[in-house]
Structures are given as C-alpha cells and as structure tokens.
Chain A
Amino acid sequence: MFLENINVIPKQGEPAPSVSGPAVISNLSRRGFVGLSGALVLGVGLAGCSSGEEAETPVAKAGPSPLTEVKGGDATPSLWISIADTGAVAITCHRSEMGQQVWTAMAQIVADELEADWDDVEIVQALGHPKYGDQNTDGSRSVRYNFHRLRVAGAAMRTMLERAAAQQWNANVADCRAELGEVLHTASGQRASYGELAAAASQLQVPAEDEIVLKTRDQWRYINKEIPSRTVPKIIRGEGEFGIDVQRPNMVYAVVARPPQVFGGIGTVDDSAALEVPGVLQTVRLPDPAPPALFQPLGGVAVIGTDTWAAIQGRNALDVQWTDGPNADYESGAFEQAMMETARAEGAVRRNRGDTYAALEAAETRLASEYYAPHLSQSPMEPPCATAEWTGDTLECWACVQDPQTTRATLAQLLGIEPDNITVHATWLGGAFGRKSKPDFVAEAAMIAREIGRPVKVTWTREDEVRHGYYHSVSAQRLEAGLDADGNCTAFLHRTVFPPIGSTFAPGLATPTDGEMGLGATDTPFATPNLRVESGDAEAHLRIGWLRSVSNIYHVFAVQSFAAELAVAAGRDQKDYLLELIGEPRTLDPNAEGATYPNYDASIEEYPIETGRLSNVLNIAADMAGWGRDMPEGHGIGLAVHRSFLSYVATAVEVAVDADGNLTIPGVWLAVDAGTVVNPRHVRAQMEGGVIYGLSNALYGEISARDGAVIQDNFPNWRVMRMEEAPRAFEVEIVESNTAPAGVGEPGTPPAAPALTNAIYNATGLRIRRLPILGPNGRRLSLGDAQET
C-alpha cells in the first residue's frame, strides 16, 4: 500500500531535470521577507532550463536572460541573499553540508561577486522545498549546478548597491565601485557601507543581464582561494547540530528492530519483557513494506524510551519471531558463482566499436581475467538519525538528509499528508556517502511520531546501519583482450554483471541501467580498434543504493587492473601502455558507438570526454610518485586513471610488502583536473578522503549475506581503515584549468583500488582480482599465490 505511485527521483547517472538553469533574480525586499526591514533581499529563481554566460567565464551555454524580474505576487521566494541594515549578509544554502564544505563554497561564490566582507557573511540552511530546484546533494554537482547562478546573483546585488550609492551622491555609477562591503566614490573618496545602502538599493529594479559585469578570474577574491571552512570553528568546540543532536521539548527516543531479510516478515511479537526495561515507554509496530523497496521503512517493531539506551535495552528484550520472505535464499558465495557464470556468456551489447569477437579470434595473444567486488556499506560516522514532531495537522522533521526535498515527497506519500503540511530541516550530516540520500529513517520517525503523539528521535545503531542499508552493488566482471605480435591491444571486451540500483525502485529490475553502465564501463576511453561493452542481468536481494562514486568503483577496478595486466603480457611499461590505450588527445562520445551515455547529466558538448586531460593527469601523478625509480625490495607503485563526475583523476599508490605478506602503504600521489576549482584546500581534502575511502573498501570491505540476512554488524567485522594504516606521504596536485567546474566529492575514489592492486602486483607478483584484498580479519597477503614477476 505504500509508495506505489511515487516517482522515482532521478539520481546520478540517470536523466535528471535540468538544474543548471538561468539565475532568475528577483527583488524580494518589499515583501517584508524574512522579517528584515530596510534590507536588500534578492531571490535567485530556478525557472527555465538553460543558463547564461559571459565571455571568459566557465559556465553552461548561453540561454535566455538570466536576470528577469519575477512577475506577480505568486513568485515564490527561492534561494535568497539578504543584506541587513547592519551590513550582515545572509546566504541560503539549499544543498546539504556533509563535510564537502558546500556552505563555504556557496558563500565564496556569492560573496566574491557581491564584494562582501567575508566576516559579514552568514549561511542559512534552506528547508526542503521544490522552490529551491535540485537539492539532491549527491553526484558531486553542487558547485557545477550553482556556480554561474550564484555569481550572477552576487553581481546583481553588487550592481544595485553601486547604483544606490550613485543616486545618493548624485554621481555617475561608473565612478562608484564596490569593495569589501562598501561602495567607494573613486573621485571624492566618499564611502558608504552596504548596510547604509541596503534600504535604498532595495527600491531599485534588478539590473538586466547586459548591465551586469561578472568579475574576471584575476579579480576573484574568494573563488579559487583557500578560504577557511565555515563549519570548523563550531566543530572544534563540539557545537553545530547534526541529525543525531536534535532536541525537541517533550521528546522521546526510539530504536527499531527490523526484519533481518528485506521483505522478510514478522511472525509473533512478545514485548512484555521489553516493557519491563526501566525507561521503556511503549512499542510500535511499523507497517510491512511491499516491493519495490523505494524509501519505505523496512517494517519491524519500534521501542520507545525515555533515552536512547533504554530503547536499545528494550529492543534487546523483545521476543520477535521473524518469518522468511522472498530473499530468504540469498547467499553471497552462491550468488558470486552465478554472476560469474553470467559474465562468461555473451551479454547485452551496451557499446560497440568494430568487430571485437573477430579481432579476439585473430589476435596473436588472447587474455581473459575475471573480477569480483562485494557489496559495501556507506557507513558514515553519524548513522542515520531523524527527529519528527506531529501536531495533528502538520509534520516537522529534522534529519541528516542529502535530499530534504525527496524526504518531504516521500513523507507525503507514505503518510498521506499534503507536502505543504510537512517541513523538513536538513541538519549537518555526519558523513553520508550516499546513505543519507535515502530517507527511510526519516519516514520511520514520522510514522512513530504520528502513532505516539510525541516528538521522537529515531537513532540507528551501528549494527542497524551495517545490517539494514542500501548497499553498494555486488559485481562480477569478465574482461578479454587480444594483442597483436607487437603487444598492441586490438580488441577489448568488457562484460559486467551486477544487480542494478533500479531494483530498489522497480521490482524485478535486473538489467544494469545506462546510468550505471556510464560509470566506468561504456565510457572506457581506450583507442583500441575493436571495443565492446556488454552487461548481464542479476537480481537484487538486498536494497541496492548509491555509495561514493557508485559503479565506477568496480568498473574502474576491473578496467584499470586489466590494462596493467595487458602491459605485463605485452612486456611493456604500465604507464606507457596505459597512455597508448588512451591514445592521442581527442574527444570521445560513447553515444556514437551505440552507447546511451548520460555523462553525469551534463551535455557531452559542454563537458566532453577529453582523453588529453586523462593522459595529462596520469603523467603528473606518475611523475609525482617517481614512476620508474629504483624501489626497495618488496615495494611497488601502481597507477590508475579515470574520468568520473566530469573530473579527471590519476592516482599512484606505493605499497611495501614484507616477506610475511604484511602490507603497508607508504605513499599516495594524486593529480586531479576538476576544471575551475572554488576552494583548492577543500578539493585536496576530498581527494584524500576519496582515496582512503576507496583503499579502505578495497582492503577490508565486504558485506555478505547468508539466509538472506547481512552477516556483518559493526566495525569489528565491517572493518575500515584507521590512522595507523593511512599513508605517511600523500600529495595532491590540482591542475590549473579555466574550464567549467566539475565534481570533486567522488572522483578520488575510483582509481584508488586498482592503483593499490597494481602496486601489490608490482611489489610481489600477486594479482588481486577479487575484493576485498584482506577482508575484516586478514592481516597478510597470501604470497604463495604470487606469480613470478
């Protein structure tokens, strides 16, 4: 009965509504908006679907005027920027802050064009509402989608302040120049602060597009500068509100006992012992979900207590008999074998160049390798957590969600409430990595709050997070290649098999989607004359969801490992061979070879696949690592390069392996070309984080199932990388670029795993084709499996 009509929200790699549209700037000052009198308030609307451009600015292609006065009283204030009579500048941020420093980035962009004094700027987190356009903070696209419109908004506001000053001084506006929160009359030296000018500026029309001059790059004051984070000063004092920190008057606390299997059922429930636990108030039975999973709660029994501990203790005392559901037979070992069998047979063609099968037959040397990568859990340090308050007419929620708008829509569907009666506050997110784009946990809180009539906070324990997630998909891949007598690659075949994310939204969907295929499979940049990409079907038995860089993880692991294997077979240097596979600098369009390639929702003209940029970052990273240098015994460097989320990243990893197989990672060197960069410091942090996330998963990460239930439950058996394992040397180089901004949150992850396994091969002769490398309990490589190098 739940959610059957909900629209599947397009996610990364899927077609999405155009969101990088024009900045429709409106003057909201006269509406008494946000209770500021004498303030200048501009709204940045998101109507239309193409964006404006000025000459040397890296933005989307020109469209209709980006600056249009919104007509009539029904124009909903959207993203707004205000200047109070005190000079305080408030900027709404409609994207979720989860450590990528989006608050800082959005403020940098607006404040730069506005010529605001950085110390006057405050960020206000937007509620979840369609008026903000796309709020889905995933896909590494907050800057890409908003760079231009926020610049235009800031510049429009600056222009109005300059005009207001010129009017006051009876001066020519050309002689009035905004600078750091003031307007200066250059001839007389007269100055007026933004606060003094705000009321007068609020009476002016928003300037037309051709009256606004964006700054040139050399005039940037905050953009492309290492501006400190807006969140860190609070974090270092334990301040700032994460989802788990929300407090409401009269609030109670809940945890939920969920069926071990997805769509497993409840036989009997005996809560008498639970209700005896001190502090336990009551239990609430949640509705059983029906396929597809969507963002529905998994069902089960909620235990409500006067604090979180009481709820947890009460849950431990519950006596629930779970019943088997349709996924009861899911067992990871058997599933791995079945997927690999699928990968051994011809699959559905997803991209084709030349005649790969004929070229394989004709090849001097034929190679084939099979790769496996398991399910993974996102495991942000803050588990899913939500607080809900139900008044009888309205629902108000506070939660660590990546997409407060989808949260609102999901709650409306699930609870049968008008969206206008639902308020969703996005708190800070204690990490997310894709988990918090699924608001099932908010729906749990909302359902419980309605049932018990009190504000309630639902906390997921770590065990809940690891056992009941939306998992990164499990995959099996087979790659084949043909080499000619000189070792050149003449044919390249890539077959990939994995349960698609679409299975979470459409029951029985088993065919990998174009979006997922476009993450490291159909976008393979190799110039080999014959190239074929195929997919095989696999049915999902867990909820499948996005995890930092998504299908790129397993695809790039296989493709970049296989490239190094081909170099070895050809007797060639791995970097040189990879550069030859990539070929001459050119632009590449997989759509011209039968693929349906979404290109991360960007147009292929605006963001082409440029192989020269791939080669460039590969050369830089190899040079940084000292590729070719003499290595101590047991040391090796591995390389991998990939374009994802429209950015180009090459990674070199050095490993050291002792005679017993003990593995350490002394160094990582990474080069990234992400186009125009708003904050180099925070881009470096994302690269470091993305790499370690990928290395951690490759070394230890494995979520597996038995009898339909996830086996792992907490950090002891769901192992993640710790400080002592982190490389002592880690260098990041950002390529200077004037091209349009691309993603940075995810692109650091995909090359990490193959760079690591290629390094292990170069150090030991051991070729790893199955992840994880060590697993949760592993401490050493089994060097007995190594080939002679």
Chain B
Amino acid sequence: MAVTLNINGEDKQVDAAEGTPLLWVLRDHLQMTGTKFGCGVAQCGACTVHVDGFPTRACVTPHDALEGAAITTIEGKEGAAADAIRSAWEAADVPQCGYCQSGQIMAAVALLEENASPSDDDIDNAMSGNICRCATYMSIRRAIKDAATRL
C-alpha cells in the first residue's frame, strides 16, 4: 500500500507492507541507513528519529501511521542544537564504534532543544533509553554539557 511520508522535509512515496515499522522503510526501502537496528523492541534507542520533533523509536512505529507527520532522521537533522551536539561530539571523539550514535545524537538534540542547560539528572533521564555497549556514557554526559555552552 503506497503512502507518502515526509522525511527530512521531502515527500517520499513508499510501498511497503501494512504495518511495516518506519525503521525498515527507511533502511530497506529508502536506503537511508543512518537510523540503526539494535533490538526491535524499543529498548535500546539505536533507531531514534524525530516525529514532529519528538524522539521516537522507529523500530516499533508503523510507517503507515505517519502520513502527514514530519519525520527527521540523523541524515537530515539540522539546527542550532544539532550543530552544537555534532560539534561537541566531534571535539571530544564521543563515538567509539559509532553504531548507536545516530540514536544517541537524536536523543541528545531533542533534549537540548527542550532544555538548553541540562543537569546530570536531566541528561540521565533523557538518555537512559539509549544503550551504548562501548560505554560512551561518561563522554556523552560531558559532551552534552559542552554542547549547551555552544548554543
């Protein structure tokens, strides 16, 4: 069933089976592989995208429920908070393997867009849905604070 999805400001025609999660539409149909698969059950955050500005787990969100919504992925996320987060990530080499970092960045940008000066507790609350097995947690905490100063 063909639907139209607005992704990173562009309308895209997608013809995937009913109920197919956005994650697999992005990755397998649109070849937008920046959004990652980690668990498939909304437990790890690797697939985090923004839907109308809210961090959303693409692995459990049916794509056909998103007609009319503004979907933003790591490839298309721009703005002051995104710039600040990317700069801070690069300045400190936050990623190790980098696989979870698309989701980490999308979660961190959403936090910073809502709270320009997050505390450690704010960061822990916003970021604990995103697992990193390389354990960049300490580095992420420092970098989000650094990003706040760059805003």
A residues in contact (CB < 8 Å) with B: 98-101, 228-229, 231-242, 244-245, 247, 253, 278-279, 306-310, 312-313, 379-383, 428-433, 459, 461-463, 681-682, 685-686, 688-689, 691-693, 696, 714-716, 720-724, 726-728, 730
Given contacts A234-B98, A432-B97, 6 further A-B contacts (CB under 8 A): A309-B20, A428-B97, A692-B135, A714-B40, A724-B124, A726-B137
Q: Which residues on B sit within 8 Å (CB–CB) of A313?
A: 17
A715-B37 in contact given A235-B101, A238-B73, A308-B28 (Cβ < 8 Å): no
> Is B90 positioned at the interface, with any CB of A under 8 Å from its CB?
yes
Q: Are A431 and B97 in contact (CB under 8 A)?
A: yes
Q: In the complex, which residues 59-107 of chain B have their Cβ closer than 8 Å to any Cβ of chain A? A: 73-75, 86, 89-90, 93-102, 105
CB-based nearest A residue for B38? A381
The answer on a CB contact under 8 Å between B128 and A99 is no
Q: Are B34 and A238 in contact (CB under 8 A)?
A: yes
- CB-CB under 8 A from B137, the residues of chain A are 692, 721-723, 726
Closest-by-CB residue of A relative to B28 is: A307
Pair A723/B140 contact, Cβ less than 8 Å: yes
User: Is the pair A238, B75 in contact by a Cβ cutoff of 8 Å?
Assistant: yes
Contact A462–B38 (Cβ < 8 Å): yes
A237 contact set on B, CB distance < 8 A: 34, 74-75, 86
A228 nearest in chain B by CB position:
B93
Listed from nearest, the 9 A-B pairs whose CB atoms lie closest are: A238-B34, A430-B99, A99-B97, A692-B135, A238-B74, A99-B96, A235-B98, A726-B137, A307-B28
| Contact for B33 among A101, A245, A720, CB less than 8 A | A245
- Report Cα–Cα, A98/B56, bound state, in Å: 27
- Are B99 and A689 closer than 8 Å at their CB atoms? no
Q: Quick check: A247 and B96 within 8 Å, CB to CB?
A: no
CA distance A556 to B55 in the complex (A): 41
| B135 lies within 8 A of A689 (CB) | yes
CB distance B134 to A99 under 8 Å?
Answer: yes
A725 to B3, CA, bound (A): 41
Question: Do A429 and B97 contact each other (CB < 8 Å), given the known contacts A721-B135, A723-B140?
Answer: yes
Instruction: Indicate which residue in A98, A307, A685, A715 contacts B24 across the interface (CB closer than 8 Å).
Output: A307
Q: Which residues of chain A are within 8 angstroms of B136 by Cβ–Cβ distance?
A: 685, 688-689
16 contacts between A and B (CB under 8 A): A231-B98, A237-B34, A237-B74, A279-B17, A307-B20, A307-B25, A308-B28, A309-B28, A380-B99, A462-B41, A716-B41, A716-B43, A720-B131, A722-B131, A723-B130, A723-B132
User: Given A237-B75, A307-B24, A309-B24, are A722 and B128 also a contact pair (CB < 8 Å)?
Assistant: yes
Q: Are A380 and B133 in touch, CB under 8 angstroms?
A: yes
> Complex: how many Å from CA A308 to CA B97?
23
User: Are B138 and A727 in touch, CB under 8 angstroms?
Assistant: yes
**A240 contacts across to B, CB distance below 8 A:** 98
How many B residues touch A, CB cutoff 8 Å?
59
The B13-39 residues at the A interface (CB cut-off 8 A) are 16-18, 20-21, 24-25, 27-29, 31, 33-39
Q: Which A residues are in CB contact (< 8 Å) with B132? A: 381, 723
CA distance A238 to B85 in the complex (A): 14
Contact of A232 with B97 at beta-carbon distance under 8 Å, contacts A247-B33, A685-B136 already known = no
A307 touches B101 (CB 8 A): no
- What is the bound-complex CA distance between A247 and B21, given in angstroms? 19
- With most chain B CB atoms within 10 A of its CB, the pick from A239, A429, A723 is A723
Answer whether residue B5 sits at the interface, using C-beta atoms and an 8 A cutoff. no
A686 to B37, CA, bound (A): 24
Q: Which residues of A contact B134 (CB under 8 A)?
A: 99, 381, 431, 685, 689
When C-beta atoms are compared, the residue in chain A nearest to B104 turns out to be A723
Residue of B nearest to A463 (CB): B40
Q: Is B127 an interface residue (CB 8 A)?
A: yes
The smallest C-beta distance from A412 to any residue of chain B, in angstroms, reads: 28
Interface residue B112 (Cβ < 8 Å from any Cβ of A): no
Shortest Cβ distance from residue A644 to the other chain B in the assembled complex, whole angstroms:
18
Q: Which of B74, B105, B133 has the largest number of chain A CB atoms within 10 A?
A: B133
Give the nearest-CB partner of B29 in chain A.
A307
Minimum CB–CB distance from B142 to chain A (whole Å) comes to 10
Point out the residues of chain B lying under 8 angstroms from A682, CB to CB.
93
CB distance from B12 to the nearest CB of A (A): 15
Question: A696 to B134, alpha carbons, bound, how many Å?
Answer: 11
Residues of A contacting B86 in the complex (Cβ-Cβ under 8 angstroms): 236-237
User: With A236-B101, A309-B24 in contact, is A461–B133 under 8 Å at CB?
Assistant: no
| Closest chain B residue to A234, Cβ basis | B98
A254 to B134 CA separation, bound complex (whole angstroms)? 27
Give, as a whole number of angstroms, the nearest-CB distance from B99 to chain A.
3
Give min CB distance, A680 to chain B, whole Å. Answer: 11
Inter-chain contact B37/A459, CB cutoff 8 Å: yes
Tell me the complex Cα distance, A278–B136, Å.
39
- B95 & A688 in contact (Cβ 8 Å cutoff): no
Say yes or no for B10: interface residue by CB 8 A criterion: no
Task: Please pick, from A306, A430, A720, the residue contacting B98 in the complex, using a CB distance under 8 A.
Answer: A430
CB <8 Å contact, B138 and A232: no
A231 to chain B, nearest CB (A): 6
Q: B141 to A430, Cβ gap below 8 A?
A: no
A231 near B95 with CB under 8 A, answer yes
Least CB distance, A63 to chain B, in whole angstroms: 35
Known: A232-B93, A245-B33, A685-B96. A238 touches B133 (CB 8 A): no
The answer for the CA separation of A308 and B33 in the assembled complex, in Å, is: 13
In the complex, what distance in Å separates the CA atom of A693 from the CA atom of B27? 29
Instruction: Name the CB-closest residue of A to B74.
Output: A238
- Complex-state Cα separation, A691 to B138, whole angstroms: 12
CA distance A88 to B64 in the complex (A): 47
**Taking CB as reference atom, which chain B residue is nearest A457?**
B28
- In-complex Cβ contact of A461 among B20, B40, B95, B98 (8 A): B40
Once A238-B102, A278-B17 are accepted as A-B contacts, the answer to whether A381 and B95 lie under 8 Å apart by CB is no
Per the 8 Å Cβ criterion, residues 39-60 of B in contact with A are 39-41, 43-44, 46
Q: Which residue of A lies closest to B89 (CB)?
A: A236
Q: How far is the CA of A241 from the CA of B27 in the complex (A)?
A: 12
| Residues of B with C-beta under 8 A to A459 | 37
How many Å from the CB of A306 to the closest CB on chain B?
8
B140 with A379: CB separation less than 8 A: no
Question: Which of A236, A381, A688, A722 makes the CB contact (< 8 A) with B90?
Answer: A236
B36 touches A688 (CB 8 A): no
In the assembled complex, which residues on chain B have CB atoms less than 8 Å from the CB atom of A241?
A: 33
B115 within 8 A of A: no
- Fill in one digit per residue for B109-145: 1 if any A CB lies within 8 Å of its CB, else 0: 0000000000010011101111111111111110000
Task: Output the nearest chain B residue to A243 by Cβ-Cβ distance.
Answer: B99
Q: Is the CB of B37 within 8 A of A244?
A: yes
Judge whether B100 and A381 touch: CB under 8 Å: yes
Residues of B within 8 A of A100 (CB): 96
Residue pair A307, B95 in contact (C-beta under 8 Å): no
B8 to chain A, nearest CB (A): 11
CA distance A382 to B36 in the complex (A): 8
Q: In the docked arrangement, what's the CA distance between A236 and B106, Å?
A: 10
- Residue of B16, B25, B95, B136 contacting most chain A CB atoms (<10 Å): B95
**Bound Cα distance A233, B93 (Å):** 9
Contacting residues, chain B, for A692 (C-beta < 8 A): 135, 137
Residues of A within 8 A of B25 (CB): 307
Option from B35, B90, B124, B140 in Cβ contact (under 8 Å) with A238? B35
A310: B residues at CB distance < 8 A: 17, 20
**What B residues does A306 contact at CB under 8 A?**
28
Is A723 a contact of B97 with CB atoms below 8 Å? no
Closest-CB distance, A14 to chain B (whole angstroms)? 26
